[in-house]
Structure 1
């Protein structure tokens, strides 16, 4: 039976550090950031237009008129953060984190230098379900689970200092998810809950996953955690 739901708002996001091959990093050196401090995530699908074949006869009549289907290349993501996590932001944008050991704080900012961004991450975003479909028949709250398993090529967008709030904006591009059978993205990073339907796993050409779930989002945390 198909699901028919109405997504509304965004509740949480989770960012997980990946290695260069798109596999989640676990244990020492890993990074998980969970927060509600974002304004929006905007996705634009990037397609390669299909090749068009047109040929006319000598009197101008169409002899061949055919166009190949477009090909999905990647998703482009724009993320606007209203809460700036120094560790998460510096990692996403391949910047250098400014650290200090005073008062138990280990990250106080970041610095950008010349060069190409190299860091990769996965992004998961949860939404609520609006209206009469907000809960399942047993009374559990339903959520929309969005996952982009392999993101990178991140660029920093506009940052405005004004008589008002400032947001930290980045744009990233997706790559196909890792196909590694044992260390790849699987049914979601880590050994905790999964938000994909039972039996579903990320496949090697996937760029974006969207699923209805009753599993609540993880709890936000100021300090990044490790992935096990």
Structure 2
């Protein structure tokens, strides 16, 4: 497919990472949801300093354009679900449990800067040739990975006569130990067998986007387990 069209965002998955950006295995290390309105990825760029040599007569003797420095992406996620699990995983705020040990809420405490998570986004692709002529596969998606997000926090919450929308902000970091990841997100052979990334991101990279025929995970209102050799080896 040479000219894919993005229809709309479909599913988001967040995965807990440690202080070095490595995925953490566990029964409470991931969350998948589709109740969100948008995920904004705004570039954070510091403009470089121009160097100019100007003579007394006003003639410019030499000039060099400053090289901008890319700091990462500032994320803004607008979502609707008040899931304690999702909020704990992304912000590090503690979960409040009911008498039966199930999460029923969360506490708002000081901002936690040591926690982190990875964000994956699937968006549907439009086109006449998104399905394999051989009959395999279920379609195609734009897949976006931001493997290391930190300093996340909830924004202001207004509850009134209209729908309540929550906002989560955070910033990406480069490097980290995500590697090829603990999830199957792309075909690894001609048969379309799902597998992890074929190569990790570079040490100075913050995001990867590509087209995949591996379908997104199913949304859930509970924690999702993270396990496997890839995660354990990170």
Q: TM-score, structure 2 length as denominator?
A: 0.85
Count of matched residue pairs:
217
1:118 aligns with 2:114: yes
Q: Judge conservation of contact 1:5–1:133 (CA < 8 Å) in 2.
A: no
1:157 to 148, 155, 177: 155
Structure 1 residue ranges without an equivalent (≥5): 179-183
Q: Deviations over 1:133-154 (max 9, x none)?
A: 5434445401000110000111
Q: How does 1:97-176 map to 2 (within 5 A)?
A: 97-102=95-100, 106-138=102-134, 140=137, 141-176=139-174
Which residue does 1:78 correspond to in 2?
76
Q: How does 1:1-228 map to 2 (within 5 A)?
A: 3-27=2-26, 30-102=28-100, 106-138=102-134, 140=137, 141-178=139-176, 184-190=177-183, 193-195=184-186, 199-228=198-227
Q: Aligned Cα RMSD in Å?
A: 2.0
Q: Judge conservation of contact 1:11–1:125 (CA < 8 Å) in 2.
A: yes
Structure 2 residue ranges without an equivalent (≥5): 189-196, 228-234
Displacement of 1:80: 0.9
- Aligned pair in 2 of structure 1 residues 64, 6: CA closer, same or farther (>3 Å)? same
Q: Judge conservation of contact 1:16–1:31 (CA < 8 Å) in 2.
A: yes
Distance in 1, matches of 2:171 and 2:126, equals: 29
SS in 2 for 1:117: coil
Which residue does 1:181 correspond to in 2?
none
Distance in 2, matches of 1:87 and 1:94, equals: 10
Higher strand share: 2
Q: Which runs of 4+ in 1 moved over 6 A?
A: none
Distance in 2, matches of 1:133 and 1:42, equals: 28
